[in-house]
Structures are given as C-alpha cells and as structure tokens.
Amino acid sequence: MSAAATADQQGMNREVRLVTVSGNLPVAEDFAVVRAPMPCAEPGHVLVRNRYFPVFPGLRTLIGGEARDVPLPPLRAGDTLFGPAIGEVVTAPDDSALRPGDLVRHMLGWREFAAIPAAECFRLADELPDPVAYLSMGSAPYGALTRLAKVREGDVVLVTGAAGAVGTLAGQIARLLGASRVIGTTGSEWKARRLVSELGYDAVVLRGKPLEEQLADAAPDGIDVVLDNVGGEQLVAALEVARRRARIVLVGALSGQFAARGAGGGAPVEIDTFRVVNKGIELLGYAGMDHPDVDQEWIEQFGAWLRAGSIRFPYTELRGIDSAPSALPSLIGGQHFGSAVVAL
C-alpha cells in the first residue's frame, strides 16, 4: 500500500508549525510537528507528497516579524512553516500536464503532503542528475558573479560565509568563471579544512581572529571581487583590502539574521564611505527578482558542471520530519556544512 493511501486512510498529515515567537533566536522548542487533516486537492489543485525541503536563513526574518521588503509573508505563532520543496505528484487534475509520479518543485514545504494550485507546481526535467540539487541556493551567487561582479580571468575573489548553502557553491562558481584565487571566511577550523580540501578554496580566514590581518595575508595584493553573504565586520574588513575598482556584491545579511538581538530584519553596519569613494569601489545588492533569466540559466549551467564533475553540491541531510524542529536552530548555530535539507 502506498504512503498516500495509508495517509488517506488515517486522514492525517504531519506538518511543522511555529508555536512560540520569543523575540530571541529560535530554539527547537519554538517549533512542533503536529498532526493535521490531510489536505484536500480542490479543482485545479495537485496533491503532492513532499520528499525534500531545505532549511533557509530567511525563515529567521519571517519569524521575527520584520519581513519588510521581503517578497514572502511573515510567520506568526500557529502558522505552518513554508518554503521550497521537491515532491512527488499523487493526484493531478485531468486537464493538467502533471501526472502521478512526476517530481515537482513548489513552495509548500515543511509538511508531508501539500495541495497546491497546478500552476504553482513546476515539473522537474532532467537538467540536474539529483533532484535534491534543484533546492540548491546557487542561483543567487551565480547571478551576482555573472551579472553584477562580472568575474574576469585572474580575479581574486572573497566569499564571506563560505561554508553555508550560498558560499559552498559561490567559491566554486567563481573559480569556474576564471578567478585565479578564491578566499573564504567561516567560523570553525573543520569547515575551513573542508573548504580547502573539497571545494578548492585557496585560503580561509576565521571569525574570532583579526579579519583584516588575515585577509591581508591571504590576499597581499588585494581583492578584486567580494561576494558578501554576511555583512557586519566581514564587510568592513573586505573594504579595507579591496583593490581600486573592486566590485562588492551583497547577496545576504547573515550578521543581522542570525544576531542574538533584533528580529532578523536588519543588518546595520558602519562602513568607510571615504574609502569606497576614493577607491572607486562598486557596492551593489543582488536581488533575484531583478534578473528573471538567471534561474533557468543557472539550472542548465549547474547541470552541465555537475555532469562534468567540475562542481560539487555539498549538503547535510536531516532524516525525517521529526528532525525539522531543530533544523533552523542548528543552522543558526553553524552545525551544518553546505545546504541543510530535510529528507522525508
């Protein structure tokens, strides 16, 4: 008997809900796996059994209630979490192009089964050899490095937050685009070792030690491109070692999202604008919605690189929905390397 049939007989689904908003960094006790009625696939809807969903830092901002300028609704106590997911179609409308067994990507993760408008389910083709790879966060660094930073042959590139979902791909992308030297930042020595031994980083500097001195040692002639996923003191240090006409692209703000104080909706930092002006530094923020062509281009390029063996997609797999309540707190705590993916 299929899992869908079993669930239908029981008439229940399991989903992850936010039960407490404390105003502090979320802990596992702020979330709960609850039983809920099976979703009903109304006309025009697809019933999907979820297989994978990623844990993404933006949840912290949505939970904190400071989701201003974010194209996603805030999460309140009692709400079921949501986000990207890969699932298998169980039932689909007769007039839909989708059929049972198809793998689709959608935005109702954090639950075992979901009923979704057919138009909001995107069938996976065979561009990528592993379905989980469709959940990678590589589109943002790829777009930032190709559209704004425009990495050139011989560039020295710095990636902040190099051991996360974005950074583990960003360094590899920079190298494939022609960077001659790739430097990363991270918070632990075991991650630094993996970045060098597995992902081709030339040097990694550690938080908790003088960043500017480490960067000066790692890039004595300066840095051409910075892909900043963190902000804060790491952005300040990057500006100090940036070469004239350096291109700095901001793709994240983890220093604010993961701060012990605040609600994850801001990442203020004091930078030396005098230095920015005198060095002619380009300082830009990357927003995916401004580059709608990037997602598909990234999927096609990512697939080609994966099949050629020239890029890796590192992720930490968390088994079962019961692992989900601790997933975001452990991500904030720096316990994962690469993406964190819950596998159902």
Per-residue pLDDT 10s for the chain (344 aa) are: 344 444 444 579 999 999 999 878 999 999 999 999 999 989 999 999 999 999 999 999 899 776 666 778 899 999 999 999 999 999 999 999 999 999 999 999 999 999 999 999 999 999 999 999 999 999 999 999 999 999 999 999 999 999 999 999 999 999 999 999 999 999 999 999 999 999 999 999 999 889 999 999 999 999 999 999 999 999 999 999 999 999 999 999 999 989 888 778 888 999 999 999 999 999 999 999 999 999 999 999 999 999 999 999 999 999 999 999 999 999 999 999 999 999 99
CATH 3.90.180.10 domain range(s) in the chain: 3-135+313-343
Q: How far is CA 223 from CA 102, 154, 219, in A?
A: 46, 11, 6
Half-sphere exposure of 35 (CA within 13 A, CB side): 4
What tens digit of pLDDT does each residue of 78-105 get?
999 999 999 999 999 999 999 999 999 9
Q: Are strands 85-91 and 45-55 parallel, antiparallel or unpaired?
A: antiparallel
CATH class of the domain at 139-290: alpha beta
CB neighbour burial string for 241-260, b if at least 16 within 10 angstroms, e if fewer: bbbeebbbbbbbbbbbbbbe
CATH 3.40.50.720 domain range(s) in the chain: 139-290
What topology does CATH give the domain 3-135+313-343? Quinone Oxidoreductase; Chain A, domain 1 (3.90.180)
H or E stretch covering 318: strand 315-319
**Residue 51 CB coordination number (10 Å):** 17
Residues 6+ apart with CB under 8 A from 202: 181, 182, 183, 196, 218
- pTM for the model stands at 0.94
According to DSSP, residue 340 is labeled E
Q: Which two tokens stand for residue 85?
A: 């997911």
Listed residue (277, 215, 284, 269) closest to 244, CA to CA: 277
